[in-house]
Structure 1
Amino acid sequence: MPNQDVKNFSSQETSGMKLLLTSAGVNNSSIHKALVDMLDKPIAECSALCIPTAMYGHPWVGPGVKAWEFITGNSENPMVDLGWKSVGILELTALPSIGKDRWVPLVKETDVLLVSGGDALFLNHWMMESGLADLLPSLNAVYVGMSAGSMVMAPKIGEEFVGWRPPAGGDAALGFVDFALFPHLGHELLPDNTLENAEKWAEGVSIPGYAIDDQTAIKVNEGTVEMVSEGKWKRFIP
């Protein structure tokens, strides 16, 4: 059965998007520079909205203290605490309960969206359910994803990363980019995130994919894909 949470966005719709897809946040100077280069003005003059929704779908990171740490900039993954002019919270699970006039203008005015890690399919579901997915291609904001917040941009995430299962099943995600993402490559606390397992994952997704460690990000700027890394990564071609 096809995943009803998935919309196929055309390349024309998404060609102007600015995405910084990280594994663990803006945690080195190269990724930080890539972010600054994508902004229209200095970080200190930019407004940001943080989106913690993915955390609630993953048993390791939410709900509770880790969600609070992300929102308040007290986590080990620099995103909220980069010196923004202002930071607000956009909780996607709440949006269907309020009028779009309450939140759409806020999103259109923000300079940056900071999207946490957690469960990619839970995030995908609520991006679609809330209407944010439909809005994203029209925004001028830079989208900064971390882990699941980055994976959700892909056409699919791979069965290895399926935790929370959407009502229609499957592993399909938003499809704003044409490649899949395997984050946290070689992480000491994630023994299954080896290069060997990344290769098996790549065979399963059957589309181009990238395995990236926590010192690596993928910069997508108006259709151009660029690797930003002070660590290790590998590209897979089916």
Structure 2
Amino acid sequence: MMDMSADMVKKWRESENATGDEPETHFVVGDEEFLPIKESSQDLIISCLGLHWTNDLPGAMIQCRLALQPDGLFLAAILGGEALKELRIACTVAQMEREGGISPRMSPLAQVRDAGNLLTRAGFTLPGVDVDQYTVKYNNALEFVEHLRAMGETNALFQRNPVLKRDTALATAAIYQSMFGLEDGSIPATFQVIYMTGWREHPSQQKTKRRGSATISFSDIQKQFGPSEN
């Protein structure tokens, strides 16, 4: 198990020592952008909600592919671009009203349509992409922001304005409630999770057919089975 936070790795190690019945696990302090793993040494690499923080996501995924053995599997979950959409809108409107302009308050996130391209660009074969969307209710926007801070999911951009004015923060909460508030007084928060799977190339894997190699046309199939019924 690897994390760039030494404190988090320490907690994992202490948790394993407390149970004593887990499989043998090695703990590493490392950065996904400088993967401290030998090439062609892993059967499986799993990344859970961490890669969306990297500065060079394609580069990190390429390193993951190189660390896999041939026919090794890469599994990753990242937050998608629809995550926190309500907060992004409310914060943008509040900044325009109170400050006359906007600055990035949340880190950019990949869109679903980008995920397949990322896998292909990184050199994975048999790429697969899936997505889930969750809605979590909070009492108010300020409580929601506090939870984001506790999760470590706030803004890490160098270009950000490190100070969020009190008036802007209060306006964001009011706009959030006004635009998205539910009948019971709570607010919804959207979390979109994109799942990506890819394999390191191996001769045993399925291969796509050469373009133009088909021997049956769709028109022939339609003639045999008849037109589709709507």
User: TM-score if structure 2 supplies the norm length?
Assistant: 0.33
User: TM-score if structure 1 supplies the norm length?
Assistant: 0.32
CA radius of gyration, larger in: 2
